């Protein structure tokens, strides 16, 4: 089972973490295969990355369905049809439908560019996170990989990596330093989850 874990990655933007997961899978760091990439934005560059790798993609727009329930049902059916074992959020800017969160309890992870529980929650994404860190005067920031529940940036923390804040940092320079560590941490953390090394029930 663990060699063939089937992974869906949800994105909204550049997809550099998606790329790190694909590369990690190819390199054998991640014992699983990225088989589906879902984006809420049709123009997300991560979709091009997926297509370049021959990975199936899907643009999920809940508002195009008659109701939120119908959207959630379609997404869940599609996940099941593809026999997805794990969902990985990589810059996905929306909340997953609660039926999907329930169906994949403890099998959904997210990566956040700060040391949660600091600098998390609704509205804390992208440059907002790094601006808040710099404004606080904190001497370090970092990366958090956590399980996903129905609240933004809230589920059990699986892994953290610290990154120094330098005196002349801008939000962009800090973001770049943090992102570099994200790419290292995410494939390894997902691998550990798949291998049952966090002691959480994988269902």
Positions touching ligand GRF (CB under 6 A) are: 11, 13-17, 46, 90-91, 111-113, 179, 182
> Least distance from C-beta 58 to ligand GRF, angstroms?
17
Active-site option among 112, 130, 154, 183: 112
Q: Which is nearer to ligand GRF, 123 or 199 (CB)?
A: 123
Residue closer to ligand GRF (CB basis): 65 or 152: 152
DSSP 95: P
d(CA 162, CA 113): 10
The residue (of 65 and 118) whose beta carbon lies closer to ligand GRF is 118
| 75 token code pair | 């997404």
Residue 167: count of CB within 10 angstroms of its CB: 5
CA atoms within 13 A on the CB side of 172: 0
Structure tokens at 172: 């962009």
Is 154 a known active-site residue?
A: no
CA–CA distances in Å: residue 98 to residues 12, 72, 148, 159: 19, 8, 11, 24
Residue number with the smallest Cβ distance to ligand GRF: 91
In the complex, least distance from residue 60 CB atom to ligand GRF, rounded to whole angstroms = 16
CA distance 143 to 195: 21
Tokens, residue 2: 């663990």
Residue 44 beta carbon to ligand GRF: minimum distance, rounded to whole angstroms: 8
Residue among 85 and 182 whose Cβ is closer to ligand GRF: 182
Shortest Cβ distance from residue 76 to ligand GRF (Å)?
A: 23
The residues annotated with a catalytic role in the active site are 112
């Amino acid at each position: 089972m663990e060699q063939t874990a089937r992974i869906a990655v949800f994105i909204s933007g550049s997809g550099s973490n998606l790329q790190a997961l694909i590369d990690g899978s190819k390199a054998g760091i991640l014992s699983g295969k990225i088989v589906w990439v879902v984006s809420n934005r049709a123009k997300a560059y991560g979709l091009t990355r997926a297509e370049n790798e021959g990975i199936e993609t899907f643009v999920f727009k809940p508002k195009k369905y008659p109701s939120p329930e119908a959207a959630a049902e379609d997404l869940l059916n599609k996940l099941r049809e593809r026999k997805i074992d794990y969902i990985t959020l990589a810059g996905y800017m929306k909340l997953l439908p609660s039926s999907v969160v329930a169906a994949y309890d403890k099998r959904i992870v997210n990566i956040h560019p700060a040391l949660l529980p600091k600098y998390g929650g609704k509205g804390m994404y992208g440059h907002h996170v790094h601006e808040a860190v710099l404004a606080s005067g904190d001497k370090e920031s970092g990366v958090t990989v956590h399980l996903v529940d129905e609240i933004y940036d809230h589920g059990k923390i699986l892994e953290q990596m610290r990154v120094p804040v330098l005196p002349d940092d801008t939000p962009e320079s800090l973001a770049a330093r943090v992102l570099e560590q994200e790419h290292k941490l995410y494939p390894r953390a997902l691998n550990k989850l798949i291998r049952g090394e966090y002691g959480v029930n994988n269902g």
